[in-house]
Amino acid sequence: MIKQAGAKTDFKVRLGAWSWDATTGEEFRVGAGLAEPYAITWCAVEYFEITGTILRMLLQHLSPDTPHHGRTLLHHAILCGNAAAVNVLLSSGANVEASVKTQKTEFRPVHMAARLGSSKTLQCLIDSGCDINSRTDSGDTALMICAKYKQEECLRILAMAGADFGLVNTAGQSATSFAGSNQWSLGFQQIILEVIRAGKIPKSSSASVFSSLIFVAQAGDIEALKALIKWGEVDVDYQDDNGFSAVMFAALNGHVEVFRLLVYAGADVKLCNKSGETAITLSELNQNHDLFEKVMLEFALQMGNRNAGGFYALHCAARRGDVDAVKLLISKGYDVNVPDGDGYTPLMLAAREGHGSMCELLISHGAQCDIKNARGETALSLARRYVGIKNDAEQVILDELACKLVLGGSQVLKHTKRGSGVPHGKEIKMIGEAGILRWGKSSRRNVICREAEAGPSPTFRRNRRRRGDADVPGLFRVLTTKNKEVHFVCDGGLEMAELWVRGIQLVSRKAICG
C-alpha cells in the first residue's frame, strides 16, 4: 500500500488526537480523529508501530524536517511521548535543533521534552548532540524549564549531561530561583545532591548564580561535600555576592560536620562577609555553638592554627577547663597572656568559669593575674563573680597575688614598741627559700614569722587608742618565732593587708615544707 501510495505521500488525513495553536504554540489533546489534517508521515509518528518500518519507508519520500504549522515530525514525536519514533527521526536526519516558531514563542525539541517530562526522549536528543543550554525566546534553558515544571528525572539527566546551572533568562531567573519560586527547593536540592554524590559536579559558568560548594554547604550534605573536595577543583574560600563562604553558611545553618570538613580542607575562617561577620561569629548564633568551638579547638590542637578569625584556641580550652588541651597548646608556643578580641586573657576566662586547677596551671606557665581589660576587669574580679559550690579559682588567684606581693616587696609604715613609738617607712619583702621577712640587713630586721594576722593586737590597740589610729585600714601584724610582735601599715586598706598576711603565711609554709 505504501509503495502504491508513494507518488501521493503529500495527501493529508484527519486521524490525529493532537492539535496546537499556531499563535502561542500551545498543544491540545482533542481526541482521535478530531485534529486538523496532517500528512501521512505525521500519522506514522503518532501511531508509531514498534519496528518503525512504516515511518522509515515514508521518510524515504519525505523530509523529516518538513514543517507543519511551525512544527516538524520531531516535535510531534516528542509531543506524543514516543522515544522510539524520535530515534527513527534522528537517525533519518531530522534536525535536532529544529525550532517551533509561532507568533509569540520559539523553542526547540530539548525545551519541549524538558517541559513535558519526557526523560527518554530528552536522553535521545542529548545523545544526538543537541545543545542542552540552548534558549527559548525568553532565555529559558531546558534546565530552567525542568525546575519550572518540577520534572525530576529530566533535571537529573540534564545535570548529568553537564547542563549549565550558572545561566539566567531575560528576567534574571536561574534554574535554582525557578525551583524556589515554584516551591520546589527541596526536591530540586535532593536531585542535585544525588548527582554530586554520584561523582558528577554540576556545571556552572557563573559561581555567583550557582556554586556547587555553596549549594552543598547550605544543604548540609556531608557526602556531597566529600565528593566535591575529592574532585579537587573547588575553591573552598569562594565568597558569594554578599561575601558568604561555604564555611560561613555551614556555621550559620548549624551544620557542624560540614563545618568540620571545610575547616580541615583548608577553608579560611578569617574571611569576613559584607557585614563584617566571620564563620566564628556566625557560629555563635547557634544553640550548638559549643560543637563548632570544639571543632576549632581540635583543629588547633592538631594543626597549630592560631587565633583564626576570632577563634582563640588557648582561651577556648581555658574557659572549657580542658587541662590537656591547654598543656598541649602551651607546648606549641601559645602565649598565656595574649588577650582575645574582647580583652580577656585565658586566665580571666578560666577564673570567670571557676576553674581553679586551670588557673593554677596557667599561672605556673607565667599567666599574669594583674592584667586588666578595657572594662577594668581582672582575673580576680571575674573569679569573684563565679557562683558555684566551690570557687577554687578565687583562692588560687589570691595565693598568686599574695606571693607575688610579698616576694616582690613594698613600702610600708612600721610601728615600733607595739605601737607606742613613732611609725616610719620601711620596704619589706619575703625571702622565699628561707621564709624570712626582711626590712633591713641586720639579723634583728630579718625574722621568721610564726603567725600573721590582719588588724592590731590588743596591746597595740591600747597603745594607739589615744592617737585614734589603732584600727587604721591596711594594718597587719606578724609574730616571729622569737615571740616578737611587729605591726605594719600598707597602702590599699584591709584587702591589701589581708593579701600581705596571706602571702607571708604561704611563703613561710613553703619554706617549712621545703
Residue 451 DSSP symbol? E
Residues 6+ apart with CB under 8 A from 339: 345, 371, 373
Complete DSSP assignment for 409-450: -EEEEE--GGGTS--EEEEEEEETTTTEEESSSSGGGEEEEE
User: In angstroms, how far is CA 304 from the centroid of its own chain?
Assistant: 19
474: left (phi over 0), alpha (psi -120 to 50) or beta: left
Q: Do the Cβ atoms of 218 and 189 come closer than 8 Å?
A: no
The pTM score is 0.74
- Is CATH 2.40.30.10 what the domain over 312-404 is classified as, yes or no? no
Q: How many CA atoms lie within 13 A of 174 on its CB side?
A: 17
Helical H segments across 92-239, by residue range: 109-116, 119-127, 142-149, 152-161, 175-181, 185-197, 212-219, 222-231
320, pLDDT greater than 70:
yes
Higher pLDDT, 109 or 465: 109
Helical H segments across 2-140, by residue range: 40-46, 53-59, 73-79, 83-91, 109-116, 119-127
* Per-residue pLDDT, 158: 98
26, pLDDT greater than 70:
yes
Element (DSSP H or E) covering residue 496: helix 493-513
In the chain, where are the structural domains located? 211-295, 312-404, 409-513
User: Tens digits of per-residue pLDDT, 274-295?
Assistant: 999 999 889 988 888 889 988 9
155, pLDDT greater than 90:
yes
pLDDT band at residue 441 under the 50/70/90 scheme = confident
User: Which amino acid, one-letter code, is at 221?
Assistant: D
What CATH number was assigned to the domain covering residues 211-295?
1.25.40.20
For the residues 90-94, what does the mean pLDDT come to? 93
Q: Do domains 312-404 and 409-513 have the same CATH topology?
A: no
Topology, domain 409-513: PH-domain like (2.30.29)
Phi and psi at 249, nearest 5°, equal: -65, -40
Rg (CA), the chain: 42
User: Which amino acid, one-letter code, is at 298?
Assistant: E
Q: Do the Cβ atoms of 263 and 296 come closer than 8 Å?
A: yes
Integer CA distances (angstroms), 45 to 28, 48, 50, in order:
17, 5, 11
